[in-house]
Amino acid sequence: MKSLSIKDIAVKAGVSITTVSFIINGKARDKSISEAVIKKVEKIIVESGYKPNQIARSLRTGNSNIIGLIVEDISNSFFSKIARLIEDKAYKKGYKIIYSSTENHIEKAKELITMFKSRKVDGYIISPIKGLEEDIQQLMADNKPVILFDRNLPDLDANYVGADHFKATYHSIESFIKQGKKKISLVTIDIDVQQITERLTAYKKALADYDIPYEENLVLKVHFNQDEKETMVQMEKLFQTEEIDAVLFATNYLAISGLKVLKQTGKKIGNDFSVIAYDDHEVFELHTPGISAVQQPLEEIAETVIQLILSQLSSKTKLDNQHIILPAKLIER
């Protein structure tokens, strides 16, 4: 049941391997192969169902038509939706995606890059974590296209596509303030990437601009890799001990955990307790009452990422790194 090789086709057609290869790769006219031969070989290829062995092709050409996608957690709806969009668009251009989740482990992330390297992926799409700077730098030094998305590493000059988290956060807090909220809490994670820390900066800035004093104990920094149970305990404490009247959750899973806590403790969301979540999710739409959420432009992010990487892949010369910041929208519910 061995599959056909280019040699089988060559023999069947009574021409050389070279000729078949030229035809397969559309170089036939260029290399002045006669129409008759082209037709004949093409016919045989179609009839026999021959498909070139991509492995052999990759070994020879050095590229794999595979793009590596590294995210924090593919089962998070934000990432799985982006992944689906990216996959879709890449597929149309003849690229496949290999994805993997880092689970916020630097060691796993490094291993993944090594593995992708040895698999000779053509390019990398990475939602990075702190500590990966050197490895990414190395990839770029090797002239591999790299696109960071969602999260950025400040010490690194790389292509980046993401949403305007500062503005989105600022507007969220502002909207709380305009509703008359005074005790506004921020629940975030202690991960050290710009896109997360920015949310804290924007929070502080908005408060300052409206002359509301910043209180440290209104900010909960959850450890990025801890168990959900523990997170919920911490949130419960926060919700109980302070007379908070509004909460902004910095990620969708934090918001979901938060909603679980509220449901368990019977605390109601309403006029004297408002909530905004970061990254929209069906949960927020269907929740009673509806939960306002910051919605990132998934489609545009995916589109931009894939466009960026494709242009890098097709360009011979190294292109300048771009930073593309797309607006995020506050969906009020």
Partner DNA sequence: TGAAAAAGGTAAAACGTTTTATGCATACTT
Partner DNA sequence: AAGTATGCATAAAACGTTTTACCTTTTTCA
52 binds DNA (CB under 7 A): yes
Calpha distance 140→142 (Å, rounded): 5
Q: What is the DSSP letter of 330?
A: E
Q: Are strands 292-295 and 146-149 parallel, antiparallel or unpaired?
A: unpaired
Interhelix angle 298-314/77-92, rounded to 10 degrees, is: 40
**Residue carrying structure tokens 């242009």:** 311
Closest approach, Cβ 106 to its own copies, in A, equals 16
Query: How many residues form the binding site for DNA (CB under 7 A)?
Result: 31
60 binds DNA (CB under 7 A): yes
Q: Could you say which of 31, 223, 263, 323 contacts DNA (CB under 7 A)?
A: 31
Using CB under 8 A, which residues numbered 58 to 97 contact its own copies? 58-59, 64, 66, 73-75, 77, 80-81, 83-84, 87-88, 91, 96-97
* CB proximity list for 248: less than 8 A, separation 6 or greater: 169, 172, 173, 176, 184, 185, 186, 187, 199, 203, 275, 276, 278
316 binds DNA (CB under 7 A): no
Which one, 1 or 286, has the nearer CB to DNA? 1
Using CB under 8 A, which residues numbered 229 to 258 contact its own copies? 256
Are 184 and 177 within 8 A, CB to CB? yes
Using CB under 8 A, which residues numbered 291 to 310 contact its own copies? none
CA distances from 42 to 3, 21, 30, 47, 285 (A): 18, 11, 16, 9, 53
* CB proximity list for 132: less than 8 A, separation 6 or greater: 106, 109, 110, 113, 126, 153
Q: Which does 330 bind (CB under 5 to 8 A by kind): its own copies, DNA, none?
A: none
Range in contact with DNA (rule: CB under 7 A) among 34-42, 82-90, 234-242, 300-308: 34-42
**Residue 20: both structure tokens together:** 């078949």
Would you say how long the chain is, in residues?
A: 333
Closest approach, Cβ 267 to DNA, in A, equals 59
Collapsed DSSP state (helix, strand, coil) of residue 265:
helix
Q: Which does 34 bind (CB under 5 to 8 A by kind): its own copies, DNA, none?
A: DNA
Q: Which does 322 bind (CB under 5 to 8 A by kind): its own copies, DNA, none?
A: none
Calpha distance 309→321 (Å, rounded): 11
Mask for 128-147, x = binds its own copies (CB under 8 A)? -------------xxx----
Closest approach, Cβ 116 to DNA, in A, equals 15
Using CB under 8 A, which residues numbered 15 to 44 contact its own copies? none
Residue 131 CA neighbour count, 13 Å, CB half: 12
Q: Could you say which of 11, 42, 57, 77 contacts DNA (CB under 7 A)?
A: 57
Residues engaged in binding DNA (CB under 7 A): 2-7, 14-19, 21-22, 24-25, 27, 31-34, 36-37, 50, 52-53, 56-57, 59-61
Residues engaged in binding its own copies (CB under 8 A): 1, 3, 51-56, 58-59, 64, 66, 73-75, 77, 80-81, 83-84, 87-88, 91, 96-101, 114-115, 117-120, 141-143, 256, 259-260, 263, 281-283, 285-288
